[in-house]
């Protein structure tokens, strides 16, 4: 009698995650961008006593047709980045390359040509439009600087076409800004930004002053225009839900620097930086069951002054994961060591020494994490003067 021996079938190899596809050639490249505002003292003999580091070594790329969302608290430097990109401010150092050309120090006609292709939509539709000018004059003003785009005899028709493109009646061309609602005024601002047929639009919190229902209309309009005109957006906001809806990639800023960058899925579903996790934990969740399971992270203490930022990691004074290393070394914006050489949503740049040890965003027992200047390690205790708490 032969003994029957069961043979295990050969195991199929686990499917490997497909590597991230290569990014297309960038239309805009920003490297080590820095903007310092000097602090001076004295009346007759003024001397510089320090500097406000509004933007400090910021780098990113923008591909054609892509939307890069930049989020962060007020004062983190995101609006200063917008002003630097459209040359409303001169950077202290760093480079801005448009289609491979360094445009940082351009002036005169060369700068004029670049500005035509990088336009801006401002935050407040109530103050960014001149109340003494008609809508036609506001939208058509760029043609005075760039007459080659629309000759004088063709400007009225061109302005009416722009009004129609942004969803406004072309017959409103002779009206004044006070005759429009906030959402309509922002549409006028968008039409002005489109007037010169730009390739890049920098939108500095374009919906923050609008009601939620109107915000959705403006966001949908911007997405439609992006598809129609093949636009690239730098979309700056403090509302994470809005940024998630419109952005292909997201950069989270804190105190003048990027804390974390990645695709929308990477940032919102798999954040590895504690600051990003804290921001996302504050986003309202409509589902009560999910809200009960959600981890809530509270940050204590104020944001440090950009004139005197902390040594090492700038977030360490409010971080529950802070260790001695965080005060000594500036963390590089790079893929955490644990995820290097691997694919997947967790393998994206994060400026944290301990990013690889942080939990990914998923339902967790409800509790509150605490941390701050008086309790930087989040244990709920305050060490004795001169004492040391082990990490």
- Which CATH number fits the domain that encloses residue 78? 3.40.50.300
- 58 in the same domain as 203: yes
Q: How many residues does the chain have?
A: 391
- 261 in the same domain as 231: no
- 175 in the same domain as 109: yes
- 226 in the same domain as 134: yes
- 227 in the same domain as 261: no
Distances (CA, A) of 28 to 86, 170, 236, 259: 12, 33, 16, 20
Q: Which residue range(s) make up the domain with 70?
A: 26-237
Per-residue pLDDT at 58: 97
Residue 389 CA from chain centroid, whole number? 36
Per-residue pLDDT at 21: 60
Per-residue pLDDT at 47: 84
Per-residue pLDDT at 282: 84
Q: Judge whether 3 lies within some domain.
A: no
Q: What is the pLDDT of residues 61-103, one digit of tens each?
A: 999 999 999 999 999 999 999 999 999 999 999 999 999 999 9
Cβ 68 vs Cβ 233: under 8 Å = yes
Cβ 272 vs Cβ 356: under 8 Å = yes
- 328 in the same domain as 225: no
- 201 in the same domain as 135: yes
- 67 in the same domain as 161: yes
**Residue 27 burial (CB count, 10 A):** 20
Q: Judge whether 30 lies within some domain.
A: yes
Q: How many domains does the chain have?
A: 2
Per-residue pLDDT at 368: 40
**Residue 148 burial (CB count, 10 A):** 8
Contacts of 141 (CB under 8 A, 6+ apart): 133, 192
Q: Judge whether 176 lies within some domain.
A: yes
Q: Judge whether 76 lies within some domain.
A: yes
- Full strand arrangement of the beta sheet holding 101-102: 47-63, 26-41, 93-98, 101-102
- 151 in the same domain as 33: yes
Residue 359, token pair as written in the block: 């939990």
Q: Judge whether 20 lies within some domain.
A: no
- 78 in the same domain as 208: yes
Q: Judge whether 374 lies within some domain.
A: no
Q: Judge whether 105 lies within some domain.
A: yes
**In the chain, what is the straight-line distance between the N-terminal and C-terminal CA atoms, in Å?**
65
Among candidate residues 76, 58, 64, the one with its CA nearest the CA of residue 248: 64
Q: Judge whether 252 lies within some domain.
A: no
Per-residue pLDDT at 315: 96
- 230 in the same domain as 261: no
Per-residue pLDDT at 386: 34
- 221 in the same domain as 309: no
Distance between CA 89 and CA 95 in Å, rounded?
13
Q: What are the residue ranges in the chain where pLDDT is below 50?
A: 1-18, 357-391
């Amino acid at each position: 009698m032969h003994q029957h021996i069961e043979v295990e079938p050969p195991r199929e190899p686990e499917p490997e995650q497909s590597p991230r596809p290569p990014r297309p050639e960038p239309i805009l490249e920003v490297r080590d961008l820095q903007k310092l505002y000097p602090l001076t003292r004295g009346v007759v003999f003024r001397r510089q006593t320090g500097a406000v580091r509004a933007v400090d070594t910021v780098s990113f790329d923008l591909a054609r047709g892509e939307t890069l969302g930049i989020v962060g608290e007020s004062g983190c430097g995101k609006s200063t980045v917008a002003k630097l990109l459209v040359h409303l401010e001169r950077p202290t150092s760093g480079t801005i390359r448009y289609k491979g050309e360094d445009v940082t120090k351009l002036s005169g006609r060369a700068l004029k040509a670049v500005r035509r292709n990088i336009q801006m939509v401002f935050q407040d539709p109530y103050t960014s439009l001149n109340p003494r000018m008609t809508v036609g004059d506001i939208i058509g003003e760029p043609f005075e600087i760039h007459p080659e785009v629309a000759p004088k005899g063709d400007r009225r028709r061109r302005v009416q076409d722009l009004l129609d493109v942004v969803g406004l009646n072309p017959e409103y061309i002779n009206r004044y800004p006070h005759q429009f609602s906030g959402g309509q005024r922002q549409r006028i601002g968008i039409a002005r930004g489109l007037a010169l047929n730009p390739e890049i639009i920098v939108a500095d919190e374009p919906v923050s002053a609008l009601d939620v229902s109107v915000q959705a209309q403006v966001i949908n309009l911007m997405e439609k225009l992006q598809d129609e005109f093949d636009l690239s957006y730098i979309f700056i906001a403090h509302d994470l839900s809005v940024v998630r809806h419109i952005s292909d990639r997201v950069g989270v800023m804190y105190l003048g620097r990027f804390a974390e960058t990645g695709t929308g899925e990477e940032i919102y579903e798999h954040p590895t930086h504690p600051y990003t996790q804290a921001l996302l934990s504050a986003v309202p969740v409509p589902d009560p069951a999910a809200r009960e399971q959600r981890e809530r992270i509270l940050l204590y203490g104020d944001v440090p002054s950009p004139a005197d930022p902390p040594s090492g990691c700038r977030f360490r004074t409010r971080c529950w994961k802070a260790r001695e290393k965080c005060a000594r070394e500036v963390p590089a914006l790079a893929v955490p060591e644990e995820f290097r050489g691997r694919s997947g949503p967790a393998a994206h740049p994060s400026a944290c020494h301990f990013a690889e040890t942080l939990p990914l965003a998923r339902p967790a027992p409800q509790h509150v994490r605490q941390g701050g200047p008086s309790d930087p390690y989040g244990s709920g205790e305050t060490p004795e003067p001169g004492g040391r708490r082990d990490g």
